[in-house]
A and B are shown apart, each in its own frame.
Chain A
Amino acid sequence: MSIFVDENTKVVYQGLTGSQGRYYGMLNRDYGTQVVAGTNPKKAGTDVEGVPIFASVADAVEATGANVSCVFIPAAGVRSAVLEAAEGGVELIVVITEGVPMHDEAFFFNKLETDYPGVRLLGPNCPGLISPGKANIGITAGHIAKEGGPVGIVSRSGTLTYQALYELKQKDIGCTTCVGIGGDPVPGTSFIDCLAAFEEDPETEAVMMIGEIGGSAEEEAAEFIAANVSKPVVAYIAGLTAPPGKKMGHAGAIVSGGKGTAQAKMDALAAAGVRIGQSPSEAGDIMDEVVAAL
């Protein structure tokens, strides 16, 4: 099994007619993802390499049965794109776009929570998610992931996620689902959401967690793990030596007022029984041991 998406998932791409949307949409289709529609109000009725374009997400859902939307709209249009997708009736909205203003994120996160409680948001500023062999939605290179299980991955960082997938594949370890939750201040899906889903998923037997400086999502995850997760968790946290007060690439990756340090996150996770790797590779080696002992 997998979490959130599988071989039955049907995806509509908001922004499929743009260069990024087309490029990754077609890569996702080549991987085997059911890429069923795109949207563009000015190009309804046309197609992108055989994928029909609709005026709105609602039209696409009605005509194709799409249940997930993947957003490649420029930052200025993301707020209305997310609301359109929720209104259009999809269950999951994956926002790849980076550079979305904080106030827009805070607005649509709360709007969805109140008015569309059944709709899950992933991102913004995330690489998407992949259930290897079943569906790849977003910008992850599908071939670096091995199908099957027993490991589930959840991560705030794109490249470190790819590295984790790749290293596990080198060790012949499969992945049920790999979720990139993104590096922004208001992520739609949290570590806790993914940990809860992995705990429920019978094929996921261990979880790899990749965090970074800023905020307190890792500390909250540690509390959740201690109380609710029976499966082994291995973690790596980036930014141990990052200077305070500086945004390290991601909008959410900042140590401010002594809060959000990597050390505090590692300590909290270790106290919850999570095994910590000091580097991405060490986390991979620990996961190898964990999987061998399952």
Chain B
Amino acid sequence: MLSLKLLWRNWRSGELRLLAAALLLAVAVVSAIAIFTQRLEGALIKQSNTFLGADRVVRSSRSLPVEWYDSAEEAGLKQAQTLLFNSMTFAGDAMYLASIKAVSDEYPLLGELEISEEAFNHRSTTLERIQSGPPRGEVWVDSRLLPLLDIELGERLFVGESEFLASKVLVREPDRGDSLSLLGARLMMHIDDVPATEVIQPGSRIRHNWLLSGEETQLVSFLDNLKKEFSPHERIMDLQASQRGLSSTLDRGKQFLGLAAMIGLLLAGLAIAIAAQQFARRHTDQVALLKSLGAGANHIRSLYAKQLFLLAVLASLGGLALGEVLQRAIASIVSSMYPLDLAFAGVWPYSLGLLTGLLCLLCFALPPLWQLPTVPPIRVLRRDIHVATVSGFWQAALGIAAVFILVAVYSQNLVLTAVVMVGFFALLALAAGIALLMLKLGRAWGSRSGSSWRLAWASLLRHRGQTVAQILVFATAIMLLLVIFVVRTSLIEEWRYKLPEDAPNHFLVNIAQHEVDTVRDLFAEENLELQGLYPMVRARLTEINNSKPDEALKKEVGVLNREANLSWTPDLPEDNRLLEGKWWPDMNLQGQTPYVSVEQEIAQRLNLKLGDKLGFSVGGLNLEAEVSSIRSLDWDSMRPNFYFLFSPGTLDSYSPTYLSSVYIPSEKKPLINELLRESPTILVVELDLVIEQIQNLTAQVSDGVELVLVLVLFAGVMVLLAAVNASMDYRLQEAGILRALGSSRQRILGSTALEFICLGALAGLLAVIGAELLLLGMQQWVLETPLQAHPLLWLAGPIIGAAIVCAMGLWASRRVVTVPPLQVLRELA
């Protein structure tokens, strides 16, 4: 009770406000980011799962046992089935091997189908979003199927023995699947219509998809149990497995938000430590008085511990409330821009927020406050009595431990933790050395300059220890802000770079040799350019070093079980990197055996080395090649990628077809119709919708990131304010004396401004050094992006540092010149 009263009185007297505000901010930053990230992640995963059409898909090449459906029903999961197979479709004399998808009534569980009444115009207002497939007796088709079968919408077509009405154009289906796989034109029908078509015969290649949705925990436990009954034919697909590009986008976003939370937390922690130090200094006399009034050390310890605990709880609750408000604000901004269904974040981020308050107090505030109860009571009579404090070594050790624990808990990434820690403490050591050196060098210069400079420099030197400490704090805050700013910028630019405006959004597959010129001319007429033209041969890898791969390896590596696309090219594709071996121009290609360059991941899984011999079966013909290089490639690039690239000309005799990609703006989409009428065998894979979806996701994540940055900025400003405030007592006292001695306001203001400018500029310079080091570490080990320096920072750091520190310093010390000097001196006496 007494603790509560004391807490209230301390609060009222303003002594706790900085500490409380720093705590509140720490909790607000962490909880807002944690809650928002959780919600965003949930929503994005949900949205991304629409790429699956469900939360999970069990994929099989055989029909699944009916009992499984029943048990999913019992487990309260939503389910739907789809069948995928290729079948001939007919209309009049025209026929086409379509890629058929038969769906049950519940399909899709997540996401929507987009259908239209008009072919090749999916941006028209006629676009309709619907959460079910076609009714029985009707089929929905890809625009390109219509010219291929020479029909219009509303006309009829045959699939096997059954006749259907082609009622709508199918513009988008959520689970179109791997966008780069070679698909025939889609025809979607009702699953109950399939038997009547009689197209499914024993031995037909059919893919059965069982779509499941429900509570994540329920799904996981259900599938964990079911997995035991899986045959080798079944496989569970989740987002990770189905969409590499998307999940890496999400991971980046999450990484950034985690980093932002961590930096916000470090900044707030710093503010807490400074505020606690100030609190301890101000309470030394109070403790001595309480002791003289008969309170023992234990009593004092308990009084302060209870006060701090109460403060932590109250500030954490406040922080949590603020965090909730902030995350709601962020969420509403994000959702107003994009239709995003943000789910409840769960209890964990809230608990994490509360835990943060206690953890921060324990780690940052306790060390400076630890010795408070040992203040000797005689200090009430003798102010000059020295008060023992926790040694600098222990404070630093506790601080390092605290930072490590917090960073590790919040980032859940030990590499990131290590990089941040090493950067952080290397900077501290380096900065302390450089700061001292610069102060020393500046002394001679300062003594030759004008009186304001001399005063400013003398003040910085007189409090050398405090000056260095302040520079370190300012530098740390500015460094962390620079890091977060640069990472954000490069992150967003990297995404944009990956998906430029005119990125190819259509793939043209199966172009015959004689059609190449026609196709090129057709696009050239519209000022569109084909991006690369790759010859392509379908082949199966049958032998490695003259022996057949064993069954175990076959099960593990998909490429051994199906036909792969082989290609050749004289130049290394733009986004490929040679990891081992040589590229063609550096080799002698005159030998008998052709050479092949293999993608790194496949090479690793098949345990391939340079010089290994690979045997392929190309439509019954054998082809042997020697591995001459290993390449990495960028799966997110939206360009054709090949596991196996041969030396030029190798595949000429295997009747290749060609693959190309092209950017077609939406208004020129009818061009596809024309192309397909002229060359009906060409497959057009429309990627524009997939790209649009990825771009939307990227935009959502980066908007969230921008708003989170505002929170971190607040934390940074808080640290700077705390540091300026902590030095205010002695500044006020000195200025009071100077004014009493007759210094003009202008001179005091001038020297104070110069002092803060020097502090800020030095700190800014050190911050840039630290930020560069930290960024290099992160580029190298965490973000895995190319190493890159940031020359602009070197200019911006000192200028921003000087400007911010000077502005805040002057604002905080405005009393120096506005309050009569006598009052200032009396208050501080």
Pairing of A with B: no
